[in-house]
C-alpha cells in the first residue's frame, strides 16, 4: 500500500486527484488548510469583511454592469458594421458542421444549378438550403426555402408526393360549391 510523506495510507477515498493528474493525501491537504487558516486568521477576516461589505458589493456590481454594457455596445456596433460578412461566415460554419460541405463546394453546386432552386427552378436573392437524404446524409442539391420545407413536410416520401400530385391533378372537379366560387362563375372569372 502506498503512503504519503507523513505516512497516511493512500487509497481512492483518501487521495485527492488534481485535474493535471497529480495526487495528494486528503488528510495532509486538510491539515495544511487548517494550519494556514489558523496562522492567517486576521488577514482572512479582513479580506472577508472587505469582500462581503454592501458598499463593496454594490461597487463590484456597478463595475461589472458598466463593463458588460460597454462590451455589449461594442459587440453590437461591430456586428452591424460587418453583418453581411458575419452571416456569410456563420452560414459557412453551419454547412461545414452539418453537411461537411466547404464554401467552395457550395458555390460549385450553386453554379451547376445555374443559381436556381433544383425543384422549382426559380432564382432567389437569398442563400439556397442544402437538401440531403436524412438516411444516407448524401447531399441531393440546393433548394429554396419553400421547396425544402415542402419536401420536409412530406418526410421525403415518394408515395406521399405522388399522392399529392394525383390530388392536385384530380382536384379540377369541385365537390363543394361555395358562395365565392359560385359568384366567380357567374361573373365569368372561372
Give the closest residue to 130 by CA, choosing from 95, 105, 161.
95
d(CA 186, CA 190): 8
Whether residue 110 is found in the same domain as residue 159: yes
- Helices 54-81 and 41-52 cross at an angle (nearest 10°) of 60
Per-residue pLDDT reduced to its tens digit, 42-55: 988 888 777 766 76
Which residues are CB-neighbours of 36 under 8 A, at least 6 positions away?
Answer: none
Contact 141, 101 (CB under 8 A): no
Q: pTM of the entire structure?
A: 0.48
Answer yes or no: is 19 within a domain.
no
Contact 36, 29 (CB under 8 A): no
| Domain of residue 130, residue span | 102-170
Whether residue 73 is found in the same domain as residue 113: no
Q: DSSP label at 127?
A: P
Answer yes or no: is 97 within a domain.
no
pLDDT for 69: 80
Buried b / exposed e along 41-67 (16+ C-beta atoms within 10 A): eeeeeeeeeeeeeeeeeeeeeeeeeee
pLDDT for 190: 45
Contact 133, 140 (CB under 8 A): yes
Per-residue pLDDT reduced to its tens digit, 65-124: 777 788 788 888 888 888 888 888 888 888 888 888 888 898 899 899 998 999 998 887
Q: DSSP label at 19?
A: T
> Does the structure show a pLDDT above 60 at 186?
no
Domain containing residue 140: CATH number: 3.40.1800.10
Whether residue 163 is found in the same domain as residue 116: yes
Whether residue 74 is found in the same domain as residue 124: no
Answer yes or no: is 30 within a domain.
no
How many structural domains comprise the chain? 2
Answer yes or no: is 107 within a domain.
yes
Whether residue 114 is found in the same domain as residue 164: yes
pLDDT > 70 in the chain, percent: 87
Whether residue 106 is found in the same domain as residue 63: no
Whether residue 162 is found in the same domain as residue 106: yes
Give the closest residue to 92 by CA, choosing from 74, 104, 75.
104
Whether residue 112 is found in the same domain as residue 162: yes
Q: Which of 3-7, 82-86, 116-120, 182-186 has the lowest mean pLDDT?
A: 182-186
Residue 111 C-alpha cell reads as: 453554379
Whether residue 77 is found in the same domain as residue 106: no
> Does the structure show a pLDDT above 90 at 39?
yes
Amino acid at each position: 500500500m502506498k503512503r504519503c510523506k507523513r505516512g497516511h495510507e493512500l487509497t481512492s477515498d483518501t487521495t485527492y486527484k488534481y485535474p493535471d493528474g497529480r495526487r495528494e493525501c486528503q488528510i495532509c491537504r486538510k491539515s495544511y488548510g487548517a494550519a494556514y487558516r489558523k496562522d492567517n486568521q486576521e488577514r482572512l477576516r479582513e479580506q472577508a469583511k472587505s469582500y462581503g461589505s454592501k458598499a463593496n458589493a454594490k461597487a463590484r456590481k456597478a463595475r461589472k454592469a458598466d463593463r458588460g454594457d460597454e462590451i455589449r455596445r461594442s459587440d453590437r456596433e461591430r456586428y452591424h458594421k460587418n453583418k453581411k460578412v458575419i452571416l456569410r461566415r456563420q452560414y459557412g460554419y453551419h454547412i461545414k458542421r452539418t453537411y461537411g460541405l466547404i464554401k467552395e463546394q457550395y458555390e460549385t453546386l450553386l453554379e451547376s444549378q445555374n443559381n436556381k432552386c433544383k425543384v422549382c427552378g426559380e432564382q432567389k436573392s437569398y442563400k439556397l438550403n442544402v437538401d440531403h437524404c436524412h438516411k444516407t446524409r448524401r447531399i441531393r442539391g440546393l433548394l429554396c426555402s419553400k421547396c425544402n420545407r415542402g419536401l420536409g413536410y412530406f418526410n421525403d416520401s415518394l408515395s406521399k408526393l405522388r399522392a399529392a400530385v394525383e390530388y392536385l391533378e384530380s382536384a379540377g372537379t369541385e365537390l363543394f360549391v361555395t358562395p365565392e366560387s359560385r359568384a366567380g362563375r357567374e361573373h365569368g372569372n372561372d
